[in-house]
């Protein structure tokens, strides 16, 4: 991020604009929405600018910008449609220590003006650091359509009520009140009685919420899917949005954590495959403690929480402490991995069952029913299998599996750095070693990428 977005306080402060032509006009249309004192310096201003001056919306000084003009300004716009004149204004502003925007010259500007969606006091600023103005406009158009015009009115009336709302307990109770106002009671009242109805609606809602007793805390176990935030379920998104505390695994991507509320407490309870880890008892205790404090705790696990997720231990900890819990299923990495290679986990005439197995368990390498797995056409999704590739290969071949059995490894499934390695049983350990994988990887035993998928992947991605 080369530009940091902030909301600048400009009420009753000076914003100086040098220029009276089209560039200045475009900026002034935006600036006039603010409560700043706008002063335009232009020898020859367009009629529209003159009429704004006449009606007192801005001050027009009919001469060129001079060194003293930047003093006490919070912002300066160099908008003369003339490179030399704009450079002179920029120099003056810099000398006075005032932030300057040299219009249409990103490199010479201290700040840039974003595309704005205006539902005052709700303001959305969209910027692309100059990379894609078309994109910024498209996002703006999309938001303009989606956000009700009345949003600003609701927020303005809501703001007047904030002091009263402080009588509600901080945290979930107060959030529930505001959420009901903005998404139910507010829009309904506006529809029925217009802006005048909002005050009454807030009053009634406030009385209702004051009378509520605090809800007890609870734990929601949420499967976050393999990493792509779009593979979260709608329920998972909602739970994340509402959580007071989020306790997550190492494999949860930052993009997903971004979806939690900014005020939520986020705890990394990461367990490295073979490295340091948070002891399970500590995680259990943490879940119970936060829920007992009355919080909504989201326990975020990669993929589906019910697959190699030690979910039962955590559920039992909740039950033992009489903490309410629920489970939101997620997309397990095996499902996402087969999707990436265009295959099915089961197929008529090939395999009528599929196994989800782990490469190692608490005792070390995990033993399986190798004899059945070794039969032609069998399919298994192997979790945590990278380090046990040679063991798996040895066991399977010892029980008669064909050396040519296809095996596909998918690393970082569903993430931008996803990698597919097509191998076969006889080369599995070598191919895995050559691929030097650092991310989580799922081994699909008995499956090769479907040809069409192999062709659409870039060739380097597929190591044969
Ligand atoms: N509950 C998870 C599995 C947890 S065990 C699920 O349902 O997917 C951790 C193992 O899952 C990793 O060692 C790896 O084998 C697999 N895994 C999890 N996320 C993955 C991803 N994005 N890409 C590939 N494998 C993944």
Q: Which pLDDT tens digit goes with each residue over 74-130?
A: 999 999 999 999 999 999 999 999 999 999 999 999 999 999 999 988 999 999 998
Question: Which DSSP string do the residues of 265-316 spell out, in sequence order?
Answer: EEEE--B-SSS-B--HHHHHHHHHHHHHTT-EEEEEESB-TTSSS-HHHHHH
Give the closest residue (by CA) to ligand 1 atom 11.
Answer: 383
Ligand 1 centroid–CA 404 distance in Å is: 25
Q: What mean pLDDT comes out for the span 183-205?
A: 87
CA of 255 to the centre of ligand 1 (A): 17
CA distance 229 to 236: 10
Q: How many other CB atoms are found less than 10 A from the CB of residue 296?
A: 21
Bridge partners, residue 380, by sequence: 355, 445
Tokens, residue 72:
């006490």
CA 406 to chain centre: 37
125-136: pLDDT as tens digits? 999 998 888 899
Residue from 228, 251, 362 whose mutation best tests the ligand 1 pocket (most atoms within 8 A of CB): 251
Q: What is the 3-state secondary structure (H, E, C) of 89-158?
A: HHHHHHHCCCEEEECCCHHHCCCCCCEEEEECCEEEEECCCCCCHHHHHHHHHHHHHHCCCCHHHHHHHH
Q: Is 311 in the pocket of ligand 1 (CB under 6 A)?
A: no
CB 398 within 8 A of CB 236: no
Active site residue 120: no
CA of 405 relative to ligand 1 center, distance in Å: 22
420-437 per-position pLDDT tens digit: 999 999 999 999 999 999
The Cα 251–Cα 302 span in angstroms is 6
pLDDT score recorded for residue 455 = 44
Among 48-62, 173-187, 444-458, name the one with the lowest average pLDDT. 444-458
Q: Using one digit for the tens of pLDDT, what is the confidence trace for 20-42?
A: 999 999 999 999 999 999 999 99
Give 361's pLDDT tier (boundaries 50, 70, 90): confident
Residue 185: closest CA among 160, 163, 206, 156: 206
Q: How confident is the model at residue 275 (pLDDT cuts 50, 70, 90)?
A: low
> How large a percentage of the chain has pLDDT more than 70?
96
Q: CA-CA distance, 430 to 424, in Å (whole number)?
A: 10
Catalytic residue among 86, 249, 304, 431: 249
For ligand 1, whether the C-beta of 441 sits within 6 Å is yes
Q: For the packed helices 389-398 and 428-435, what is the interaxial angle rounded to 10 degrees? A: 170
Question: pLDDT per residue over 439-457, tens digit each?
Answer: 999 999 999 999 755 544 4
- Determine which residue's CA is closest to atom 6 belonging to ligand 1: 303
User: How far, CA to CA in Å, does 292 sit from each of 261, 287, 321, 325?
Assistant: 20, 9, 9, 12
The tens digit of pLDDT for each residue in 299-348 reads 999 999 999 999 999 999 999 999 999 999 999 999 999 999 999 999 99
Q: Which of 238, 314, 329 has the alpha carbon at shortest distance from 271? A: 314
Tell whether ligand 1 has an atom less than 6 A from the beta carbon of residue 217: no
Task: For residue 121, say if its preceding peptide bond is cis, omega within 30 degrees of 0.
Answer: yes
**455 φ/ψ angles, rounded to the nearest 5 degrees:** -70, -35
C-alpha 440 – ligand 1 centre gap (Å)? 6
Nearest ligand 1 atom to the CA of 226 is 22
Q: Catalytic annotation on 249?
A: yes
> Is the CB of residue 286 less than 8 Å from the CB of residue 317?
no
């Amino acid at each position: 991020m080369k530009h940091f977005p902030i909301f600048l306080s400009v009420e009753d402060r000076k914003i100086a604009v040098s220029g009276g032509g089209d560039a200045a006009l475009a900026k002034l249309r935006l600036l006039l929405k603010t409560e700043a004192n706008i002063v335009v310096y232009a020898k020859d201003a367009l009629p529209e600018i003159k009429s704004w001056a006449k009606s007192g919306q801005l001050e027009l000084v009919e001469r060129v910008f001079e060194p003293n003009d930047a003093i006490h300004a919070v912002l300066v716009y160099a908008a003369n449609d003339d490179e030399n004149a704009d450079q002179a204004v920029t120099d003056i502003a810099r000398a006075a220590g005032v932030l300057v925007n040299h219009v249409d010259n990103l490199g010479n500007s201290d700040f840039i003006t974003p595309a704005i969606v205006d539902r005052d006091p709700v303001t959305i600023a969209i910027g692309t650091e100059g990379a894609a103005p078309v994109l910024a406009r498209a996002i703006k158009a999309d938001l303009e359509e989606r956000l009700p015009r009345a949003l600003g009115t609701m927020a303005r009336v809501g703001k007047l009520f904030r002091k009263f709302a402080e009588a509600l307990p901080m945290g979930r109770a107060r959030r529930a009140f505001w959420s009901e106002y903005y998404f139910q009671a507010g829009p309904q009242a506006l529809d029925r009685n217009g802006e005048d109805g909002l005050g009454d609606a807030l009053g009634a809602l406030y009385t209702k919420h004051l009378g509520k007793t605090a809800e007890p805390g609870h734990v929601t176990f949420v499967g976050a899917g393999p990493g792509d935030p779009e593979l979260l379920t709608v329920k998972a998104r909602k739970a994340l949005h509402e959580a007071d505390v989020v306790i997550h695994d190492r494999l949860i991507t930052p993009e997903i954590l971004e979806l939690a509320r900014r005020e939520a407490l986020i705890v990394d309870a990461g367990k490295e495959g073979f490295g340091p880890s948070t002891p399970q008892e500590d995680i259990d205790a943490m879940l119970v403690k936060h829920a007992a404090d009355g919080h909504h705790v989201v326990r975020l696990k990669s993929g589906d929480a019910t697959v190699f997720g030690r979910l039962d231990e955590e559920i039992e900890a909740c039950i033992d402490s009489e903490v309410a819990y629920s489970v939101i299923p997620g997309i397990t990495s095996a499902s996402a991995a087969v999707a990436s290679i265009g295959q099915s986990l089961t197929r008529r005439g090939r395999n009528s069952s599929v196994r989800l197995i782990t490469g190692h368990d608490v005792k070390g390498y995990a033993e399986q029913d190798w004899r059945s797995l070794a039969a032609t056409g069998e399919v298994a999704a192997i979790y945590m299998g990278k380090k046990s590739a040679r063991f798996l290969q040895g066991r399977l071949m010892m029980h008669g599996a064909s050396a040519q059995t296809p095996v596909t490894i998918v690393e970082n499934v569903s993430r931008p750095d996803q990698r597919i390695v097509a191998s076969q049983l006889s080369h599995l350990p070598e191919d895995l070693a050559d691929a030097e994988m650092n991310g989580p990887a799922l081994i699909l035993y008995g499956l090769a990428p479907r040809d069409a998928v192999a062709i659409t992947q870039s060739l380097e991605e597929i190591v044969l």
